[in-house]
Structure 1
Amino acid sequence: MAISLIDTFRLLASFDPPRRSLRGAPWEEYVDWAIAQGLAPLASYNLEYRLGGADAPEWARDRLLSIYQGSLNDNVMKLVNFKRTVDDLEGRRLLLLGGAAFADTLYPHVAFRPVLEIQMLLRRMDVEAFAGYLSQHEFRPEPDEPAHGAARVVSDGRTPIFLYADVLGPERRDEVQGIFERAKPMRMYGSSIFRPDLEDMVLLVVLQHAREGYQVPWLSFVDLRELVMGAKSMGGLYSRPMDVALLLERAKAWRLERSLYASLSLVARLFPETAGTVTPALPTLRRATRELLDRLVVNPASEPGQMSHVRGSDRLRRLLTGR
């Protein structure tokens, strides 16, 4: 019996996949797509160590396994180098975002979550000072204009570091200040590195989705799945139930209710087992707004490769962020 691409994705993106054969899966389509979406390391581990190969073709297993091994080596190199760089930094409160914040708190193994870059949230006044500090450790400004809304991007030739500030706009600096005040220390990286609290991190992931017009790797929806579900495979900062009332209150204050609806609806669509947790956290929107978001975002983004027609849409970004 043929197995769809979405079913292959769901099985191989699970932290507890049911044992079954994937002989009829669309491997020619899945392998390249999974690599591009950042899903290959977790898929490879599941195939090799949880599913006994699952009757997948040898070439597919070999290719995914090479990505898994490369992800492990690359992640360790980047994170160890980052630790050496910031370990002695004192007197700051710098927030780690994205893959570097998730690899050890959401994923059972650091290799499962590729860390392509390091993302950090800083107070505006700290951006230049921290960029200067990084320059003492061979991190230089990237020649191009900062991308993805970053204030600065620096790199040592191996690891780009994206520095963000005023992520909610200058008119909501009090809300951003709250993110810093609620952040929890990441002592493994020294005294100056922190991680946003759970509800803040959910909304920061949602904000990134919206600003990218949902042109994000599907790995980001795995991140959000684990945040929303309370990182049950782990025992760290994000391993607790979400405070739904608090999440909805902050989403309204940050003007991210539409984006939260879209991102959570996508998680429920991609991972049906999350629906019971996700549904109570969906913001209350007008029916017309929900239908518009479903048509423009949720429906196309839940099909592999179907979002190119909205790429770069300023109208969509304004709709999602309430601006």
Structure 2
Amino acid sequence: MAPSLLETFRVLSSFEPPRGKLRGAPWEAYVDWAISQGLAPLAAYNLEYRMGGSEAPEWARDRLMSIYTGSVNDNVMKLVHFKRIVDQLEGRKLLLLGGAAFAEALYPHVGFRPVLDIQVLVRRMDVDGFAGYLSNHEFVPEPDTGNTGAARIVSDGRTPIHIYADVLGANRREQLAGIFERARPMKVYGQSVFRPELEDVLLLTALDQAHHGYDVPWLSFVDLRELITGATWMGGVYSRPLDVPALLSRAEAFGLERALYTSLAIVARLFPEAEGQATAAFPPLRRATRELLDRGVVGPVSTPGRSSALRGVDRLRRLLTGQ
């Protein structure tokens, strides 16, 4: 039987894809969808270097490989440029989030994880100072047209930098301070750049997904898969088992139990190999709440190729984040 779109996604998003599993795959549907979801670079590498082409048509392999090549070059340019900017910055504490934090910590090759923008979490009092510092490097303000929730967005025309603050809401600044206290240094970027520890970054990723009403690239769920399973390919800062009691305690303190459940449940559906770790970290929600989230969010979001956004995104955001 020919593989479905979901099965094709699972194979080509794996870091150890099985050979010979994609005969008759729905390439016409998969290629454009994978590109739009940020999955093309990893898929291209798997097809060309791990699976011997897997009988994919030449046009599909060529399109995916062109995205892979571009992703490698673009990531290196953005991350090296960012390093040059912040390397000499002192007296601040910047927490790197999203693709810039994950590309080298979760993925075997920096080119597998496209870095479309650089996301930085700072204390509220540092927003203007950091934005002003970036203005000295030709970064100018841009409008938040994508409803990202960033306190500032600046760009030099090539690399947008999203500056976040108070992401847990004005009433949870003490909890946010704990995230800063637990953060680990990223010495490659100098003295002022850190990354949240594993449980914190997992919750912040779930928060970001919930903020967008789960209308996020599926690459974000690959990020979560690796965080949940302990980034076993990397041997780095996120390569350890989750501290589930700490995760659940912080989820309650952050007001993110519903968002955490939803994100974990999506990963459990998408990746059978991560189901055990994901379900073991489910927060203790009421059965009726779980059923509502499964029916209204988890099921629809876990369907590949879905073209319509979930209804009532603003209401959903408030339900999942308590904000």
Q: TM-score range by the shorter chain?
A: over 0.9
TM-score by length of 2: 0.98
Kindly indicate whether residue 108 of structure 2 is the aligned counterpart of residue 118 of structure 1: no
Kindly indicate whether residue 288 of structure 2 is the aligned counterpart of residue 296 of structure 1: no
Task: Provide the secondary structure at the position in 2 that maps to 1:161.
Answer: strand
Deviations 1:256-304 (A, max 9, x none): 1011110000000000111111111001111110110001110000002
* 1:81 Cα deviation after fit: 0.3
Taking the aligned partners of 2:37 and 2:206, their CA distance within structure 1 comes to: 17
Name the counterpart of 1:202: 202
Name the counterpart of 1:13: 13
Name the counterpart of 1:60: 60
Matched AA of 2:246: L
How many corresponding residue pairs? 323
Taking the aligned partners of 2:90 and 2:39, their CA distance within structure 1 comes to: 36
TM-score by length of 1: 0.98
Name the counterpart of 1:257: 257
* Mapping 1:1-323, distance limit 5 Å: 1-143=1-143, 147-306=147-306, 308-310=308-310, 313-323=313-323
* 1:309 Cα deviation after fit: 4.2
Contact 1:300 1:307 in 2 (8 A): no
Matched AA of 1:142: E
Task: Provide the secondary structure at the position in 2 that maps to 1:168.
Answer: coil
Taking the aligned partners of 2:188 and 2:234, their CA distance within structure 1 comes to: 17
Matched AA of 1:293: L
* 1:322 Cα deviation after fit: 2.6
Contact 2:212 2:313 in 1 (8 A): no
Taking the aligned partners of 1:303 and 1:146, their CA distance within structure 2 comes to: 23
Contact 2:144 2:150 in 1 (8 A): no
Task: Provide the secondary structure at the position in 2 that maps to 1:194.
Answer: strand
Task: Provide the secondary structure at the position in 2 that maps to 1:66.
Answer: helix
Task: Provide the secondary structure at the position in 1 that maps to 2:92.
Answer: coil
Task: Provide the secondary structure at the position in 1 that maps to 2:166.
Answer: coil
Contact 1:121 1:163 in 2 (8 A): yes
Contact 1:214 1:307 in 2 (8 A): no
* 1:308 Cα deviation after fit: 2.3
* 1:319 Cα deviation after fit: 1.4
Contact 2:141 2:153 in 1 (8 A): yes
Deviations 1:98-149 (A, max 9, x none): 0000000000000000000000000000000000000001111114568310
5+ residue gaps, structure 2, are none
Deviations 1:52-108 (A, max 9, x none): 100100000000000000000000000000001100001111000000000000000
Taking the aligned partners of 2:146 and 2:50, their CA distance within structure 1 comes to: 41
Matched AA of 1:214: Y
Taking the aligned partners of 1:293 and 1:269, their CA distance within structure 2 comes to: 13
Taking the aligned partners of 1:224 and 1:56, their CA distance within structure 2 comes to: 28
Matched AA of 2:308: S
Taking the aligned partners of 1:284 and 1:143, their CA distance within structure 2 comes to: 39
Task: Provide the secondary structure at the position in 2 that maps to 1:95.
Answer: strand
Q: RMSD over aligned Cα, in angstroms?
A: 1.2
Matched AA of 2:249: E
User: Following superposition, which runs of at least 4 residues in structure 1 exceed 3 angstroms of deviation?
Assistant: 143-147
Contact 1:301 1:307 in 2 (8 A): no
Taking the aligned partners of 2:133 and 2:201, their CA distance within structure 1 comes to: 26
Taking the aligned partners of 2:283 and 2:315, their CA distance within structure 1 comes to: 21
